[in-house]
């Protein structure tokens, strides 16, 4: 009878995570060959097979023994943890066979049975850290020179791959993981999420999520896989998640940030996707059919561009300064979002400003007219500073959006009633764009008519008889919207700015995430000596129809 070799990956170690084919192959065999611990892990599946147990470092003799037994006509199961083709026995078996001049169809039959590798099993326990381009690197220099390993670590770090480190540390090999961390820190932020999983789906399983900076403070050993996130990986509720694309978003005054998961899922987050399709009858074809002159960028063109950048990089032109996190090579276009307006008091746009805005937004970006005296702009760029300085040079006011404080002023009757303008400008200088728990609008109106609705904002300021009236906690949206509570009349001008600044700072420091200002005021009950008053609940009569 012709012998057979089944090279079996049995997955992380639990029966539930083993394939049916792996179970069957073990049970169909006469001989099981494997490292002691692995034989113990599959013991429950054995039904009388001869077991050849070997120690960890006897891989070559194990492979030779397996081939010998198969050639003698036995059905041999060679077992590996994870996948046998990932730092496992499959390659070694083929090497022994090649050495012997084995040919498919002539010698013993060989079947490699796939299993769940540690990169997959540990990732599933951490959340979804792989998701995008990733690689595995074994830090064992038992069979590979260390210079080559660390070169690969460096290349992977630079290329922003998610990296699964196998064999990260053993009793004698302790230096490798330290050196690896040092190289990774040259290219990635110290805050990069790192997952450390020991004995996935086995007894004594242990899962830790930490950062690149602190990873060495945790237990890392022979049974551990370490997953290093890429520049977009986030930690959410104890889970490590890498967004599927490289899309990022930035607004002014904040670092480039990955899109939050819910933002990525919105269609308007990718308004330019149209130009990126290259299928023959995908959207790009429609694009062409519409007679648009500019060609969509093809993957080929992007690849050429990347190659040019890589060439420049390797010839030293774009080499990053040491310690810089921006490798030059991987500078990404990102979504830039901001609000633009003609000014705080200025409500008129010039034709030149509008034309410039139209040019900058172009075909791919979007402009959205909002209820807040602003146009919200979203576009894609790799140079946000160039975009915003062109707009500000044209006299436009560019402001961050999101959970920030914003001044909403009236037009001061075309500057006929401009006495309070310096206070408004000072408030804008101190508070405009300040990060707060939830978007905060500060209405500022230059006379008692308050025709721009200052009293309906989160904070309202009305200039009247050379002094200021203050309104706090307007509920600006919802069916039960209501104006702010009038808390003070006749605030002396020299006290106004400090008072409002202290109120906003308290909100910034003590508000809960996403807590609107009116809720915050109701919760803390008092701000700068102004007490919150609960409104009476309205009685709503049921309207009776047809009653005469
Ligand atoms: N063939 C195996 C890898 C063998 S190399 C596979 O595909 O998974 C041994 C390394 O694999 C260990 O040092 C560890 O980094 C990783 N590993 C294997 N099983 C693991 C498990 N259950 N939990 C965590 N890491 C594991």
CA 167 to ligand 1 center in whole angstroms: 7
Instruction: Measure the CA–CA gap between 401 and 127, rounded to whole angstroms.
Output: 30
Strands 366-369 vs 375-381: parallel, antiparallel or unpaired: antiparallel
228 CA from centroid of ligand 1 (Å) = 16
> Which of 9, 59, 81 is the pocket-test mutation for ligand 1 (most atoms within 8 Å of CB)?
81
Closest-CA residue, ligand 1 atom 11, reads: 166
> Rounded to the nearest whole angstrom, what is the distance from the C-alpha of residue 117 to the centroid of ligand 1?
7
Which atom of ligand 1 approaches the CA of 165 most closely? Answer: 15
Homologous superfamily (CATH) of 403-534 is Sulfite Reductase Hemoprotein, domain 1 (3.30.413.10)
Tell me the CA–centroid distance for residue 9 and ligand 1, in Å: 11
Helices (H) and strands (E) in the chain, counts: 16, 26
Which candidate, 306, 302, 298, 300, places its Cα nearest to that of 330? 306
Confidence of residue 248 (pLDDT cuts 50, 70, 90): low
Please, how many CA atoms are within 13 Å of residue 392, restricted to the half-sphere of its CB?
11
Architecture of domain 4-116: 3-Layer(aba) Sandwich (3.40)
Q: How far apart (Å, rounded) are the C-alpha atoms in residues 335 and 364?
A: 11
For the chain, the domains span 4-116, 119-241, 332-401, 403-534
Q: Is the distance from CB of 476 to CB of 441 less than 8 angstroms? A: yes
Query: Of 384, 316, 313, which is closest to residue 158 (Cα–Cα)?
Result: 313
pLDDT at 104 over 70: yes
| pLDDT, tens only, 432-445 | 999 999 999 999 99
Q: Above 60 in pLDDT, residue 317?
A: no
What stretch of H or E contains 99?
helix 90-99
Other beta carbons within 10 Å of 157: 22
For the chain, the first-to-last Cα distance in angstroms comes to 101
Q: Supply the pTM of this predicted model.
A: 0.55
- Ligand 1: distance of its center to the CA of 41 in Å? 14
CA 75 distance to own-chain centroid: 48
Which residues are paired to 111 by β-bridges? 6
More confident residue, 543 or 480: 480
For ligand 1, mutation pick of 166, 200, 207, 221 (most atoms within 8 Å of CB): 166
Structure confidence at residue 267 as a pLDDT band (50, 70, 90): very low
Between 454 and 546, the more confident residue is 454
The pLDDT, as a whole number, for residue 285 is 43
Question: Is the predicted pLDDT of residue 56 greater than 80, yes or no?
Answer: no
> How far, in Å, is the centroid of ligand 1 from the Cα of 148?
21
Q: Where is 440: in which H helix or E strand? A: strand 440-445
pLDDT surpassing 90 at residue 510: yes
The per-residue pLDDT for 57 is: 65
Q: Which atom of ligand 1 is nearest to the CA of 9?
A: 1
Q: Which residue has the tokens 């310096």?
A: 422
| Residue 404 near residue 440, CB atoms below 8 Å | yes
**High-pLDDT (> 90) share of the chain, %:** 68
In the three-class reduction of DSSP (H, G, I as helix; E, B as strand; rest coil), residue 75 is classed as strand
Which is the closest atom of ligand 1 to the Cα of 84? 1
- CA angle at 94 for the pair 91 and 96, rounded to the nearest 5°: 110
Asked if the domains at 119-241 and 403-534 fall in one CATH topology, the answer is no
Cα–Cα distance, 478 to 159 (Å, whole number):
47
- H/E element holding 442? strand 440-445
- Check whether 218 has a pLDDT greater than 90: yes
Mutate to test the pocket of ligand 1, among 15, 37, 82, 204 (most ligand atoms within 8 A of CB): 82
- Give the Å distance between the CA of 497 and the centre of ligand 1: 61
Separation of CA 197 and ligand 1 centre (Å): 10
**Mean pLDDT, range 296-310, rounded to an integer:** 61
pLDDT 10s digits, 35-47: 888 888 899 999 9
Q: Which residue has the tokens 């498919």?
A: 104
Confidence label for 19 from pLDDT (cuts 50, 70 and 90) = very high
Q: What was the pLDDT predicted at 270?
A: 46
Read off the DSSP letter of residue 1.
-
Counting from 1 in the atom list of ligand 1, the atom nearest the Cα of 119 is: 8
The atom number, within ligand 1, closest to the CA of 140 reads 13
Q: Tell me, which fold does domain 119-241 have in CATH?
A: 3.30.950
- The rounded distance, in Å, linking the Cα atoms of 373 and 394 is 18
Q: Which two tokens stand for residue 125?
A: 């326990």
Residue range 309-322: mean pLDDT, rounded? 51
293 SS3 class: coil
Nearest ligand 1 atom, CA 167: 13
Q: Which two tokens stand for residue 188?
A: 């990635």
Which residue has better confidence, 302 or 25? 25
Q: Three-state SS for 526?
A: strand
Could you tell which of 16, 86, 118 is best to mutate to test the pocket of ligand 1, judged by most ligand atoms within 8 Å of the CB? 118
Average pLDDT over residues 181-195: 95
Give the separation between CA 130 and CA 228, rounded to whole angstroms: 9
pLDDT at 535: 82
- For residues 413-434, give the mean pLDDT: 94
What single string gives the DSSP state of each residue in 89-145?
SHHHHHHHHHHTT--TTTS-EEEEE----HHHHHHHHHEE--SSSEEEEE---SSS-
Atom of ligand 1 nearest to the CA of 205: 23
Q: Give the closest residue (by CA) to ligand 1 atom 17.
A: 118
Does residue 482 carry a pLDDT above 80?
A: yes
Average pLDDT over residues 173-195: 95
CATH architecture under which domain 332-401 falls: 2-Layer Sandwich (3.30)
How far, in Å, from the CA of 118 to the mean position of ligand 1?
A: 5
Asked if 388 and 379 count as a contact pair (C-beta separation under 8 A), the reply is no
Both tokens assigned to 500 = 């409002």
Rounded to the nearest whole angstrom, what is the distance from the C-alpha of residue 168 to the centroid of ligand 1?
10
Mutate to test the pocket of ligand 1, among 10, 225, 226 (most ligand atoms within 8 A of CB): 225
Average pLDDT along the chain: 86
156 Cα–ligand 1 center, Å: 20
Give pLDDT, residue 224.
98
At 293 the pLDDT is: 44
The protein residue with its alpha carbon nearest to ligand 1, atom 13, reads: 167
Distance 318 CA to ligand 1 centre (A): 38
Which residues have any ligand 1 atom within 6 Å of their CB?
A: 12-13, 80-83, 86-88, 117-118, 121-122, 166-167, 197, 199-202, 222-225
CA of 187 to the centre of ligand 1 (A): 26
Q: From the alpha carbon of 222, which atom of ligand 1 is closest?
A: 13
Q: Please spell the DSSP secondary structure of 379-408, one letter per residue.
A: EEES-HHHHHHHHHHTT-EEE--SSBEEEE
Looking at the CA of residue 166, tell me the nearest atom of ligand 1.
15
Ligand 1 mutation pick, 223, 227, 228, max ligand atoms within 8 A of CB: 223
Give the residue whose CA is nearest to atom 5 of ligand 1.
87
Q: Check whether 403 has a pLDDT greater than 80.
A: yes
């Amino acid at each position: 009878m012709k012998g057979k070799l089944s090279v079996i990956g049995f997955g992380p170690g639990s029966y539930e995570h083993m394939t049916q084919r792996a179970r069957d192959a073990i049970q169909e065999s006469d001989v099981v060959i494997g490292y002691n611990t692995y034989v113990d892990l599959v013991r429950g599946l054995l039904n009388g097979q001869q077991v050849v147990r070997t120690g960890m470092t006897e891989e070559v003799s194990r492979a030779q023994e397996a081939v010998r037994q198969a050639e003698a006509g036995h059905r041999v199961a060679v077992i590996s943890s994870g996948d046998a083709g990932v730092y496992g026995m499959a390659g070694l078996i083929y090497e022994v066979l090649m050495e012997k001049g084995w040919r498919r169809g002539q010698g013993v039959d060989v079947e490699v049975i796939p299993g769940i590798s540690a990169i997959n099993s540990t990732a599933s326990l951490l959340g979804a850290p792989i998701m995008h381009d990733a690689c595995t690197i074994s830090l064992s220099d038992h069979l590979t020179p260390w210079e080559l390993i660390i070169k690969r670590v460096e290349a992977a770090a630079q290329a922003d791959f998610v990296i699964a480190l196998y064999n990260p540390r053993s009793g004698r090999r302790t230096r490798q993981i330290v050196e690896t961390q040092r190289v990774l820190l040259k290219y990635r932020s110290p805050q990069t999420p790192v997952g450390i999983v020991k004995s996935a789906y086995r007894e004594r399983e242990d899962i830790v999520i930490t950062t690149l900076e602190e990873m060495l403070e945790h237990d890392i050993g022979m049974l551990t896989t370490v997953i290093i996130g890429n520049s977009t990986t986030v930690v959410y509720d104890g889970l490590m998640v890498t967004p599927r694309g490289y899309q990022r978003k930035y607004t002014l005054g904040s670092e480039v940030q990955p899109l939050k998961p819910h933002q990525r899922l919105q269609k308007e987050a990718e308004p330019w996707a149209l130009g990126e399709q290259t299928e023959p009858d995908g959207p790009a074809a429609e694009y062409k059919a519409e007679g648009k002159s500019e060609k969509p960028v093809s993957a080929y063109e992007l690849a050429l561009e990347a190659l040019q950048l890589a060439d420049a990089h390797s010839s030293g032109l774009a080499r990053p300064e040491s310690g810089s996190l921006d490798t030059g090579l991987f500078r990404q276009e990102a979504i830039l979002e901001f609000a633009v307006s003609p000014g705080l008091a200025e409500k008129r746009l010039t034709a030149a400003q509008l034309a410039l805005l139209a040019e900058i937004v172009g075909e791919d970006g979007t402009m959205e007219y909002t209820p807040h005296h602003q146009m919200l702009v979203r576009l894609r760029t790799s140079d946000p500073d160039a975009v915003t300085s062109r707009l500000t040079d044209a006299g436009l006011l560019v402001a961050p959006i999101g959970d920030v404080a914003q001044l909403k002023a009236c037009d001061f009757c075309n500057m006929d009633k401009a006495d309070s303008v310096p206070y408004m400008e000072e408030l804008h200088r101190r508070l405009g764009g300040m990060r707060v728990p939830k978007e905060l609008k500060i209405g500022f109106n230059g006379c008692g008519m308050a025709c721009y609705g200052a009293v309906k904002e989160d904070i309202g300021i009305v200039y009247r008889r050379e002094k200021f009236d203050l309104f706090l906690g307007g509920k600006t949206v919802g069916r039960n919207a209501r104006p702010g509570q009038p808390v003070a009349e006749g605030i002396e001008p020299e006290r106004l700015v400090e008072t409002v600044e202290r109120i906003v700072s308290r909100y910034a420091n003590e508000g809960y995430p996403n807590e609107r200002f009116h809720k915050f005021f109701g919760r803390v009950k008092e701000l700068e000596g102004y007490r919150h008053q609960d409104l009476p609940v309205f009685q709503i009569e049921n309207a009776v129809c047809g009653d005469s």
